[in-house]
Amino acid sequence: RESALYCVGCGVPLQAADPKQPGYVPEKVLAEAEQDAVCQRCFRIRHYNEVAPVVQDPGYYEDLLQRIADTDSLVVQVVDLFDFDGSWIPDLPRWIGENPLLLIANKIDLFPRSVRHGRIREWVRRSAERLGANPVDIVLCSAAKGIYIREVMAAIERYRQGRDVYVVGVTNVGKSTLINRLLHDFGDGGQPITTSPYPGTTLDTIRIPLEDGRTLIDTPGIVRKDRLSEWVSPADLKVIVPKGTINPRVYQLNDRQTLFLGGLARVDFIKGPRQPFVLYVSNALYIHRTKYEKADEIQRAHLGELLTPPEDPSVLPPWRKQRFHIAGGGKQDLVIAGLGWIAVGKEAADIEVWVPEGIQVELRPSVI
Ligand code: GDP
């Protein structure tokens, strides 16, 4: 049944007969629709960030990746430059089989302008190699700021060579934001490309038709629980996910001094000469510096109050401590997955890091 109403998003007549055809809205919605109605597809596009599906169960996700391995396609992994290791899909190269991998490294806008993109790209290449991947190419971009989006699209076109494209990524890397960008920038004549749910499966996969009859398939995000960003409330997430260029915060520390990163991590400088600790975390995150001797008491008294986020510490596992020995004489990043990193290593140092149990903390070669 066609109506006299047109979708304000794509201009086609609204209809309630066939969900697979343009202009579809459910009968009930159509009955109540007015002049400013949008069809279900345009609704999806507009509200993409809210409806983008997420998978919690790793086994289920592996099944999905396994299915990609059985296709002949280009796999595009979106990673978060702010949380490279934490945003990597574990064992990705193994899962995608023979298919080529294109790496899109998002959130380039977070880096200070002084950092050369060529350097970051090279660092991404080495990091991917360390994780066992050999991507056909690496493209840096900022989905949110619209930087290098054309390059992303060009790379997808170049490497897919007439094949379907699967876009994969863990949650919070900006995959939805990027797909939204591509939909709007490269849709037909400025119109967004329509999307529809993948028919015949329970996976909420979103399929976007490409010009040559092929399809770009956006897969659900997988949750990695070893990142702090996956544990906190939406309000806390606003504080810890950086929104713009990170201003590195430099602390000249003596040994036996402690930094609290909100109430989400604690860094004790146990032993070593006075030296800089440079924090690359969200500008909105409160850092509390104190003497090591006082740290336990402050933690007991102020976690969830002075030391926030989290607004509610009980949602997180209890803290566990890990010890790191920094050799000195060269910069390294101490990375706390989902929160950021601390550049250390001007001098030798023994450092203890407290984070909620299960959160990944590791040393890596310095990115900046
Ligand atoms: P998804 O879970 O991978 O689909 O991620 P979203 O698209 O929902 O984005 C997760 C968070 O990262 C949101 O707070 C976005 O605003 C933010 N974000 C996405 N792209 C960028 C970017 O290019 N730069 C910055 N700074 N933030 C971004």
pLDDT by residue (tens digit) across 317-366?
Answer: 999 999 999 999 999 999 999 999 999 999 999 999 999 999 999 999 99
Greatest mean pLDDT among 88-92, 232-236, 321-325 lies in 321-325
111 CA distance to ligand 1 middle (Å):
15
173 CA distance to ligand 1 middle (Å):
6
Tens of pLDDT, residue by residue over 17-30, are 887 777 888 887 78
136 CA distance to ligand 1 middle (Å):
24
Shared domain check, 272 and 157: no
Does 223 contact ligand 1 (Cβ within 6 A)? Answer: no
Atom of ligand 1 nearest to the CA of 177: 7
274 CA distance to ligand 1 middle (Å):
37
Shared domain check, 54 and 23: no
Question: Around Cβ 342, how many Cβ atoms within 10 Å?
Answer: 26
Instruction: Supply the residue whose CA is at minimum distance from atom 10 of ligand 1.
Output: 172
Shared domain check, 33 and 95: no
Does 262 contact ligand 1 (Cβ within 6 A)? Answer: no
Give the residue numbers spanning the domain of 26: 2-46
Shared domain check, 64 and 184: yes
Of 222, 256, 287, which one is at a domain's C-terminal end? 222
Shared domain check, 111 and 83: yes
CA dist 5 to 9, 23, 36, 147, 219, Å?
Answer: 12, 10, 9, 37, 32
Shared domain check, 268 and 205: no
pLDDT at 193: 41
CA–CA separation, 259 vs 269, rounded Å? 8
Atom of ligand 1 nearest to the CA of 169: 3
234 CA distance to ligand 1 middle (Å):
13
Tens of pLDDT, residue by residue over 210-223, are 777 788 888 888 88
Tell me the mean pLDDT in the region 4-32. Answer: 80
Does 241 contact ligand 1 (Cβ within 6 A)? Answer: yes
194 CA distance to ligand 1 middle (Å):
22
- Cα angle 47, 337, 135 (rounded to 5 degrees) comes to 75
CA–CA separation, 159 vs 272, rounded Å? 49
Higher-confidence residue of 206 and 357: namely 357
Alpha helices in 231-324 (DSSP H): 234-240, 292-302
Shared domain check, 199 and 63: yes
34 CA distance to ligand 1 middle (Å):
33
18 CA distance to ligand 1 middle (Å):
33
Pocket mutation for ligand 1, best pick of 177, 180, 236, 281 (most atoms within 8 Å of C-beta): 177
106 CA distance to ligand 1 middle (Å):
8
Shared domain check, 15 and 116: no
Strand partners, 349: 326
Please state, for a pLDDT cut of 90, what percent of the chain lies above it. Answer: 61
Instruction: Supply the residue whose CA is at minimum distance from atom 17 of ligand 1.
Output: 174
Shared domain check, 84 and 146: yes
Structural domain count, the chain:
3
Shared domain check, 235 and 134: no
Determine if the pTM surpasses 0.80: yes
CA dihedral 84→85→91→94, nearest 10 degrees, is 40
Atom of ligand 1 nearest to the CA of 173: 3
Shared domain check, 218 and 90: yes
Pocket mutation for ligand 1, best pick of 54, 148, 172 (most atoms within 8 Å of C-beta): 172
Does 338 contact ligand 1 (Cβ within 6 A)? Answer: no
pLDDT at 64: 84
